[in-house]
């Protein structure tokens, strides 16, 4: 774990003084890739996810389109190891796409690699904008966690992972009142990849067009702000929260990750902050198709506690 730097007292002033075009630039991840152009990077990301999902569906034992709630969008795909057992660690993945694009049908990047190592993988869908709003999405993700816990009560731990907007949704689970949902999920770890944890800057960018977030919506759904306001204590202080960002993510994504990590440490969570070398906002997930990838190894070591 890294030492806790000073509190981010200049957080608001930093982004509020940016020219609108620079704020837009900072929150446009495809503009920061270095391997190819923005559109090529987005195409490669989508193709990699689709290919990985198609391969996992064809080669792994799986249950597809499993409903975890009553809504049309409340479905998940579950991929299993060859071992016939319910006493498995479960890795739940929430896709990115700025809460307005992406789907479970092209997001099983890690399914083949993790199931080969004995981990069950659930790829969770949620209602993206404009059909869904942030409050609905947060509720859906919470229900998906409760569903897995109740369906597989003998699990060896639930590990929540989200990318970008999905990292935000996973982070909101740190603040969930599970008693109100009638479950105590066996949460053993969080992997938050290139996430946004304070949503207020996004209110002032084009990303907000389909979301229609008000400042109040952003405040209510910002894990950074809610963590600071609630002074919530972790249910299990030993549950690790890994905040991970790519070297080629923008300065604002780095700031968001750093300041959320600081807030976690001040709140008593077992948190760590990791910058992955020579990867951008999209490669951080694309590379999970590879067993030798640095992040894949971090995930496996965390699940199996081989330090």
* Selected catalytic residue, list 249, 250, 257, 280: 249
CA nearest neighbour of 248 among 274, 282, 273: 282
Q: Report the distance separating Cα 83 and Cα 116, nearest Å.
A: 10
Residue 272 CB neighbour total at 10 angstroms = 17
* Strand locations in the chain (E): 61-67, 75-80, 90-94, 120-124, 158-163, 187-193, 240-246, 270-276
Q: Report the distance separating Cα 275 and Cα 247, nearest Å.
A: 6
Q: From its phi and psi, is residue 305 left (phi > 0), alpha (psi between -120 and 50) or beta?
A: left
Burial 83-116 (b: 16+ CB within 10 A, else e): eeeeebbbbbbbbbbbbbebbbbbbbbbbbbbbe
* Selected catalytic residue, list 163, 204, 248, 281: 281
Catalytic status, residue 194: no
Residue 259 CB neighbour total at 10 angstroms = 21
Contact criterion met (CB below 8 Å) for 78 and 66: yes
* Selected catalytic residue, list 107, 164, 222, 250: 164
How would DSSP label each residue in 89-146? -EEEEE--STTTS--GGG--TTHHHHHHTT-EEEEEP---TTTS-HHHHHHHHHHHHH
**CB proximity list for 148: less than 8 A, separation 6 or greater:** 68, 76, 90, 92, 122, 155, 158, 185
Catalytic status, residue 204: no
DSSP assigned state of 60: S
SS3 category, 35: coil
Catalytic status, residue 249: yes
> Within 13 Å and on the Cβ side, how many CA atoms surround 172?
26
Q: Report the distance separating Cα 282 and Cα 11, nearest Å.
A: 25
Catalytic residues: 164, 249, 281
């Amino acid at each position: 774990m890294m030492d806790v730097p000073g509190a981010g007292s200049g957080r608001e002033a930093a982004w509020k003084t940016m020219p609108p075009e620079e704020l837009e630039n900072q929150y446009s991840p495809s503009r920061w890739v270095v391997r190819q152009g923005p559109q090529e990077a987005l195409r490669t990301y989508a193709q990699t996810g689709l290919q990985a999902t198609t391969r996992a569906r064809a080669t792994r034992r799986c249950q597809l389109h499993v409903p975890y709630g009553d809504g049309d969008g409340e479905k998940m795909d579950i991929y299993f190891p060859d071992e016939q057992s319910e006493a498995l660690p479960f890795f739940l993945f929430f896709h990115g796409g700025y809460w307005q694009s992406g789907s479970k049908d092209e997001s099983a990047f890690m399914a083949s690699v993790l199931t080969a190592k004995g981990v069950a993988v659930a790829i969770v869908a949620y209602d993206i904008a404009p059909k869904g709003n942030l409050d609905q999405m947060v509720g859906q993700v919470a229900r998906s966690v409760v569903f897995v816990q109740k369906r597989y009560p003998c699990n060896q731990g639930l590990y929540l992972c989200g990318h970008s907007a999905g990292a935000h949704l996973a982070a909101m689970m740190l603040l969930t009142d599970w008693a109100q949902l009638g479950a105590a999920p066996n949460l053993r770890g969080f992997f938050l990849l290139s996430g946004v944890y304070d949503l207020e800057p996004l209110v002032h960018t084009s990303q907000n067009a389909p979301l229609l977030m008000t400042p109040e919506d952003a405040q209510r759904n910002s894990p950074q702000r809610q963590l600071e306001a609630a002074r919530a204590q972790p249910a299990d202080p030993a549950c690790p929260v890994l905040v991970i960002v790519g070297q080629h993510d923008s300065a604002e994504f780095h700031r968001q990750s750093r300041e959320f990590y600081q807030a976690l440490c001040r709140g008593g969570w077992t948190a760590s902050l990791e910058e992955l070398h020579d990867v951008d906002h999209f490669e951080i997930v694309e590379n999970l198709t590879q067993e030798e990838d640095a992040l894949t190894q971090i995930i496996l070591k965390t699940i199996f506690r081989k330090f």
